[in-house]
């Protein structure tokens, strides 16, 4: 084989040599379903890797926790850090995603959900949630912990084998939510969420007491006695 032929084959040989597949643990469901999971899948580490996801969700009839382990075809898409979304009092979604591609079954270890942080952070957002709709009527809530952004989302959601339905949600979110873009699909141990609209912006501060008074306005408690005094003067005169 001539030198020119070897040069032609070199890119293909390098591509073959660089491509390496790893095996990932695969499961979905409760903690017990994933604790001793035996299912596996394979993915090319040039583009993908292994993933572990946990979701704690209180927006349904009962709080539920779900787990997912498997192969991630595109290592660079989706939310890469812990994510929390609060849509009302006691209504939240908390998820944590761990990625790896440093060896077979690197996602076999446990993954913990983000911890609850109920400390008010001085910020606020409009919040609401509706299923089977593409909009919802919001009310202002105070944000807590690391939820320093406001999120506004619509899309479709599916749980298990149930039919796909639309949803709309607004609320306080962590900065990691900026990774959610229209067209992105998030898969957890509970839901498959596909977003058709995703808007994330920094949350605004909670107004201080009295902020609703116009500049230069004197409170009623101050000007009422003066007004009464003025009326008495008029009557006497």
Encoded tokens for 93: 């979604």
Question: What is d(CA 223, CA 163) in angstroms, rounded to the nearest whole number?
Answer: 62
DSSP 163: P
Question: What is d(CA 41, CA 107) in angstroms, rounded to the nearest whole number?
Answer: 11
Residue 218 sits at φ, ψ, to 5 deg, of -95, 130
Per-residue pLDDT at 93: 92
DSSP 201: E
172 and 85 Cβ atoms separated by less than 8 Å: yes
| Residue 92: strand, helix, or coil | strand
| Residue 28: strand, helix, or coil | strand
Question: What is d(CA 171, CA 233) in angstroms, rounded to the nearest whole number?
Answer: 55
Question: What is d(CA 87, CA 172) in angstroms, rounded to the nearest whole number?
Answer: 7
Question: What is d(CA 175, CA 173) in angstroms, rounded to the nearest whole number?
Answer: 7
Residue among 173, 228, 180 nearest 203 (CA): 173
Per-residue pLDDT at 233: 39
Per-residue pLDDT at 18: 54
Question: What is d(CA 235, CA 237) in angstroms, rounded to the nearest whole number?
Answer: 5
pLDDT tens string, the chain, 237 residues long: the values are: 544 544 455 555 444 445 689 999 999 888 888 888 889 999 998 999 999 999 999 987 788 899 999 999 988 877 888 999 999 999 999 999 999 999 999 999 988 888 889 999 999 999 999 999 999 999 999 999 999 999 999 999 987 777 889 999 999 999 999 988 898 888 877 888 999 999 999 999 999 875 544 433 444 443 334 334 433 334 344
Per-residue pLDDT at 79: 80
Q: Where are the domains of the chain?
A: 15-206
Per-residue pLDDT at 227: 35
Residue 199 sits at φ, ψ, to 5 deg, of -125, 125
């Amino acid at each position: 084989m001539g030198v020119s032929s070897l040069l032609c084959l070199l890119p293909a040989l390098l591509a073959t040599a660089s491509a390496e597949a790893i095996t990932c643990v695969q499961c979905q469901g409760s903690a017990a379903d994933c604790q001793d999971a035996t299912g596996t899948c394979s993915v090319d580490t040039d583009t993908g890797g292994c993933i572990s996801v946990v979701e704690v969700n209180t927006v349904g009839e009962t709080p539920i926790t779900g787990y997912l382990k498997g192969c991630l075809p595109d290592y660079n898409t989706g939310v890469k850090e812990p994510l929390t979304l609060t849509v009302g009092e006691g209504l939240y979604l908390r998820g944590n995603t761990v990625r790896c591609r440093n060896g077979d079954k690197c996602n076999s270890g446990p993954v913990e959900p983000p911890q609850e942080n109920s400390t008010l952070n001085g910020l606020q957002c409009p919040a609401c949630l509706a299923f089977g709709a593409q909009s919802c009527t919001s009310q202002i809530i105070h944000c807590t912990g690391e939820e320093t952004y406001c999120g506004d989302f619509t899309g479709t959601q599916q749980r298990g084998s149930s039919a796909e339905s639309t949803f709309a949600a607004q609320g306080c979110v962590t900065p990691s939510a900026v990774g959610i873009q229209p067209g992105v699909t998030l898969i957890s141990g509970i839901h498959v969420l596909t977003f058709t609209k995703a808007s994330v912006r920094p949350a605004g501060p909670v107004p201080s007491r009295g902020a609703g008074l116009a500049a230069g306005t004197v409170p009623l408690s101050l000007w009422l006695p003066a007004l009464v005094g003025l009326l008495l003067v008029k009557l006497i005169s």
